[in-house]
Amino acid sequence: MQYPNDSFISINFYDTGYLIPKFEIHVNKDLSFLVRVFSWLLPKNHSIYTENESSLNIISLSSIIKRIKTKQCFAIQQFTCF
């Protein structure tokens, strides 16, 4: 976990085969969140945001992590599932 400043927290998940985090979750003070997969932001219209209004008031952090770890396809432009 990183606390780069007082406005958000960054939770990083690493895989041994990569130097960058496999995925990251950034949580803002207002409990809105962003997800990055291999440093690429998920599109704002991704279901992980739209189904939960991009807020931890709607979904728990553990549920987001489980959903990401189930290796659902994130379809970041040309990339496939990780």
Which pLDDT does position 77 carry in this prediction? 44
Which pLDDT does position 4 carry in this prediction? 56
Domain boundaries, the chain: 2-69
Amino acid letter for position 52: N
Which pLDDT does position 72 carry in this prediction? 53
List average pLDDT for each run of 10 residues in the chain, which is 82 residues long: 70 88 91 90 87 89 86 48 46
Which pLDDT does position 3 carry in this prediction? 54
Which pLDDT does position 32 carry in this prediction? 92
